Structure 1
């Protein structure tokens, strides 16, 4: 029985390795296709969840109450001017309908008289948890020096009714795969009776957008 030469053994080894190469390549292709399929399936699942269950929703602002906490009015005959102090307490609820937290930035609640800003109060930045609500109690005080220059003031006082408007804007973001910016507004048109010192008419408006 002849003993195989070293060259013959080497040739057989190379042939065996060559026979296994197609199998290795086939397995690699199958593994790569499997990984790609899993990645695509996960991406599709996240997309569906992002468009349905986790779809970004606008925060909802509702006005719980608006009350006149202070109204002082008098004429300064010597200086021919009106002395007017007004404070309005407003309570608003901000509801986050999302399944993730809503972070909102620093903002300012405004008190307006015929379009002019006559009072303001800061609304500090914060966070509202998933599907949670936050109550904000704000006091808006009229700054007399801002309203006295308005030419409509004297005629409104003579009529006995002072028209004011509260305005609050809350802007922030929710993170669902990526940050989504959301903004919500509320404003209330008020008519204040100077003689009875109360709010005789109130109409609130709401607006939200992504």
Structure 2
């Protein structure tokens, strides 16, 4: 009788161990499937909604073929987070280029985008006149009535999945912008977006 009781007890213990292992494996498999599907990190995207000319002052010195140009571009930027976890971003930056040369910079302050949410921010890029005036093509562009610029924005951050798995990513936006000297406005803007993990 004792041996029957002992065998029954061993069989129950084994059964409990098998069930426990099966439950743990099932939970691990479920977390793995969720991590690869529902909670898989997706690209956070920064988009430039609009570009406005905040200020424009042009002065021509015809005898010396030089230009005094002060430009401020106001960028309306949205960071969109498609993840089911929040995206915390560090200090980012926006840069303004004229024919490939850096002529303006601005800081994008750090922040947070909630799960499947978006955040808008405004950034003002002021042209560094001393860098711009040294470019010989500026005079021709101002005379033609259109001055081409390009902007790059960079927003680094982290998405934390299930409070454990951290995914670092950087969202980039590159735009080509044409400023109309006569209308004192942005004539054209063409933007591209990408994210790197």
Q: Specify the TM-score bucket, using the shorter chain as the normaliser.
A: 0.7 to 0.9
Distance apart, 1:204 and its partner CA: 1.7
Please show how residues 153-164 of structure 1 align to structure 2 within 5 Å.
153-164=138-149
C-alpha RMSD of matched pairs (Å): 2.3
Partner of 1:201: 188
Please show how residues 12-91 of structure 1 align to structure 2 within 5 Å.
22-76=7-61, 81-91=66-76
Q: Check if 1:105 corresponds to 2:90.
A: yes
Q: Check if 1:184 corresponds to 2:160.
A: no
Larger Rg: 1
Q: Check if 1:143 corresponds to 2:118.
A: no
Distance apart, 1:147 and its partner CA: 1.5
Distance apart, 1:102 and its partner CA: 0.6
Q: Are the counterparts in 1 of residues 65 and 139 from structure 2 also a CA contact under 8 Å?
A: no
For the structure 1 residues 139 and 164, does the alpha-carbon distance in structure 2 shift closer, same or farther, using more than 3 Å as the test?
Answer: same
- Normalised to the residue count of structure 2, the TM-score between the two structures is 0.87
**Paired residues, number:** 195
- Normalised to the residue count of structure 1, the TM-score between the two structures is 0.82
Distance apart, 1:22 and its partner CA: 4.8
Structure 2 CA distance for aligned equivalents of residues 96 and 139 of structure 1: 23
Show structure 1 runs of 5+ residues with no match: 1-14
Show structure 2 runs of 5+ residues with no match: none
- 1:40 aligns to what SS in structure 2? helix
Distance apart, 1:60 and its partner CA: 2.4
Distance apart, 1:142 and its partner CA: 0.4
